[in-house]
Amino acid sequence: MSSKILIIGAGGQIGSELTTKLREAHGTENIIASDINTRNLDLVNSGPFEIIDAKNFNAIKDCCKHYNIDTVYLMAALLSATGEKYPMEAWDLNMNSLFHVLNIAKGGTIQKVYWPSSIAVFGPTTPRDHTPQHTTCEPTTVYGITKQVGERWCEYYHKKYGVDVRSLRYPGIISHKTMPGGGTTDYAVEIYHEAIKNGKYECFLSENTSLPMMFMDDAIKATIDLMQAPAEGLTIRSSYNLSAISFTPKDIYESIKSRIPEFKITYQPDFRQTIADSWPSSIDDSVARQDWKWQHSFDLDTMTDTMLSELKKKYL
């Protein structure tokens, strides 16, 4: 019998591409996409779709029962920059949606849960270079606090109730298919769009701010690889460090400029600079590479080639 998968928050940056990839792998009819609205028409029209508020326990549970769901990917969240503007909303959505899914899994309705964490769990007291799997986590953003607390609950539900919950600490994610959704690393997506559209970009981070980043294809691959890994090989039930590449705004600018010589950049750091300064500049993900053989494929130049090539089709 085929696995039946529910994706909550499927209209978001990662959720939309994850839905497509899972439908390719498992068959469209076995992947139930859901979101709080129907704005993403491609998603709504390409397979089973339900309107679900991630804060509504009964809506999630009823959907799981109706479709005989065995796996849930909980991708709904308010991200770092948006969360600072709406802290109570971020706490409400990010925490209660996780509790709902963990409690449904605890009750035996579903067998496996995926919940994304983030490098936002780290803070100014965390070692910035090659941040280890186990380290000090004193986040300074509401988003980071929700992710840190969520990691502890995931591990607790696994140890206490045997819930098969799995998680990754995503770095900044870069994609040409979906626009960014209010994160501190969004400059690394916006810069490609602006390079093609306007030939110039004003960056909201300073030129030498190094942050861990990842191309969307690698992020989706890591997510699916982790969910397919045998449970007995997993040693982390809070959230795995995940890494691919680290670069600065200056690095990405030079990568683009080598392909678009007339491209110009200016720097106007805003409140997101403080957030970025509290995060690591590089991540040690050796535990993921050991436990479930994680490997990334894209470096900065292959990512730039792909981003510019795809966005030219969109804008030119």
Residue 56 confidence (pLDDT) above 70: yes
C-alpha 60/C-alpha 54 separation (Å) is 7
Q: 162-176, 180-194, 204-218, 296-310: which has the minimum mean pLDDT? A: 180-194
Residue 180 confidence (pLDDT) above 80: no
Please report the pLDDT score of residue 122 as a whole number.
97
Residue 292 confidence (pLDDT) above 70: yes
Query: Residue 213: in which H helix or E strand, if any?
Result: strand 211-215
Residue 140 confidence (pLDDT) above 90: yes
Please list the residues that pair with 32 across neighbouring strands. 6
Residue 66 confidence (pLDDT) above 80: yes
Predicted confidence band of residue 4 (pLDDT cuts 50, 70, 90) = very high
pTM comes to: 0.96
Please report the pLDDT score of residue 181 as a whole number.
77
Task: State the average pLDDT over residues 26-54.
Answer: 96
C-alpha 160/C-alpha 67 separation (Å) is 27
Residues 6+ away with beta carbon under 8 Å from 104: 57, 60, 61, 64, 72, 110
Residue 178 confidence (pLDDT) above 90: no
Residue 2 confidence (pLDDT) above 90: no
Domain 175-213+245-282+299-315 -> CATH class: alpha beta
- 5-172+214-241: which CATH topology? Rossmann fold (3.40.50)
213-to-36, 210, 247, 304 alpha-carbon distances in Å: 28, 9, 7, 13
The model's pLDDT over 72-131, given as tens digits with 9 standing for 90+, comes to: 999 999 989 999 999 999 999 999 999 999 999 999 999 999 999 999 999 999 999 999
User: Is 4:68 a contact under the CB 8 Å cutoff?
Assistant: yes
Please report the pLDDT score of residue 1 as a whole number.
60
The model's pLDDT over 253-272, given as tens digits with 9 standing for 90+, comes to: 999 999 999 999 999 999 99
Closest CA to 147 of 175, 172, 168, 126: 168
Predicted confidence band of residue 182 (pLDDT cuts 50, 70, 90) = confident
Query: Could you give the residue ranges of the DSSP H alpha helices within 53-202?
Result: 57-67, 80-85, 87-106, 142-161, 187-197
Annotated catalytic sites, by residue?
143
Task: State the average pLDDT over residues 11-24.
Answer: 95
Please report the pLDDT score of residue 262 as a whole number.
98
Please report the pLDDT score of residue 144 as a whole number.
96
Q: Domain segments of the chain: what residues?
A: 5-172+214-241, 175-213+245-282+299-315
